[in-house]
Amino acid sequence: MTRYVLSFAGAGRVASALCQRFYEKDIKIDRIVSGKGKSADTLAGKCKATAGRELKFDQETDVIIVAVPDHLLQEVLNNIECPEETLVAHTAGSFGLEVFPERIKRSGVFYPLQTFTTGRNIAFDNIPLFIEASDPDAKHILDNLAGILGARVHFMDLDKRKLIHLAAVFTCNFTNHMFTIGKTMALKAGSDFNVLEPLIRETVEKALEYGPESSQTGPAIRNDQITLKRHLDLLSFSPEFQDIYRHITQSIIGFHKKSEK
Ligand SMILES: NC(=O)c1ccc[n+]([C@@H]2O[C@H](COP(=O)([O-])OP(=O)(O)OC[C@H]3O[C@@H](n4cnc5c(N)ncnc54)[C@H](OP(=O)(O)O)[C@@H]3O)[C@@H](O)[C@H]2O)c1
């Protein structure tokens, strides 16, 4: 398999996870650039790369992976200086190739469908990795890189990938916020988050095994108006949580009514 030399723009959650996994797989990491420089220094120290703040890359680098916050992506891409033959790929789920300036001739998207947090060691095996590229050769390189990580490759254009990104927001980000609200209730009861652990595990396992629509339980799907009212009364300390409770309840009732028809 061809070996590539990689560089990174960004040294945060995604860049760290990718960079460390590539390094473990004997891929050479040349240069790591970050905004303030500190995160690049730390990451470069772990993978024998050089660190810096200037978005300048020479011909030593075959592929630059850009993993910066979405609102900075356009600006960072505009400021990258690299040889014409260098492939530049970003990791943002809801952006496509349109975000690259015209002078970057070889471009791609390398979007891992996973949630990354500093300090957590993510195994990439079988993680879905969504790839888009400017040309067949760039596609081949990104496919090879995904293979080195052990990820499961999906070739998908932006319109479809935006929907996958949205699905990730609902299933991961929103669910996690529900955990946070659940934790608030548990603490209010003088208990802690751990009391919910078996429930969380079974909820996820059941949804994966039977499908989420078949796994729905609770007062909303039973249309148990007495319990629903009691819960809203209990939530009188937070009009915000009451609102969330009403919306999700209506969504569950509406969704399951429709699917009964
Ligand atoms: N987090 C996830 O779970 C996840 C999953 C899939 C895809 N993504 C996508 O991956 C991308 C990166 O997300 P992230 O969560 O890894 O972000 P992050 O943890 O916030 O890290 C952002 C990195 O960008 C650097 N940066 C800021 N300005 C820069 C500049 N001008 N030049 C170079 N580097 C700069 C920051 O450096 P300083 O700290 O030094 O400023 C930091 O190292 C986003 O497009 C996101 O949508 C994220």
Work out the average pLDDT over 84-111: 97
Q: Tell me the residue length of the chain.
A: 261
Is 193:183 a contact under the CB 8 Å cutoff?
A: yes
Query: Can you tell me the distance from the alpha carbon of 71 to that of 76, in angstroms, rounded to the nearest whole number?
Result: 10
Whole-structure pTM value: 0.94
Phi and psi, residue 171, nearest 5°:
-75, -30
* Three-class secondary structure of residue 166 per DSSP: helix
Pairing of strands 63-66, 5-9: parallel
Phi and psi, residue 225, nearest 5°:
-60, -35
Evaluate if residue 260 carries a pLDDT over 90.
Answer: no
Q: Which of 147, 153, 142, 146 is closest to 62 using CA atoms? A: 142
Bridge partners of residue 28, in order along the sequence: 5
The protein residue with its alpha carbon nearest to ligand 1, atom 1, reads: 116
Q: In this predicted model, what pLDDT tens digit does every residue of 179-219 receive, in sequence order?
A: 999 999 999 999 999 999 999 999 999 999 999 999 999 99
Mutational pocket test of ligand 1: of 19, 54, 68, 122, the residue with most ligand atoms within 8 Å of the beta carbon: 68
Query: Can you tell me the distance from the alpha carbon of 216 to that of 218, in angstroms, rounded to the nearest whole number?
Result: 7
Q: Structure tokens of 76?
A: 């960072």
Cβ of 68 less than 6 Å from ligand 1: yes
The alpha carbon of 241 and the centre of ligand 1 are apart by a number of angstroms equal to 31
CA 43 remoteness from chain centre? 19
Cβ of 108 less than 6 Å from ligand 1: no
Cβ of 165 less than 6 Å from ligand 1: no
Give residue 118's pLDDT band: very low, low, confident or very high (50, 70, 90): confident
Ligand 1, atom nearest to 112 Cα: 6
Cβ of 168 less than 6 Å from ligand 1: no
Angle (nearest 5°) at CA 43 between 59 and 47: 65
The alpha carbon of 12 and the centre of ligand 1 are apart by a number of angstroms equal to 5
Give residue 161's pLDDT band: very low, low, confident or very high (50, 70, 90): very high
- Count H helices, E strands: the chain? 10, 8
Q: In this predicted model, what pLDDT tens digit does every residue of 132-156 receive, in sequence order?
A: 999 999 999 999 999 999 999 999 9
Ligand 1, atom nearest to 38 Cα: 40
Query: Can you tell me the distance from the alpha carbon of 216 to that of 255, in angstroms, rounded to the nearest whole number?
Result: 11
Please report the pLDDT score of residue 1 as a whole number.
Answer: 61
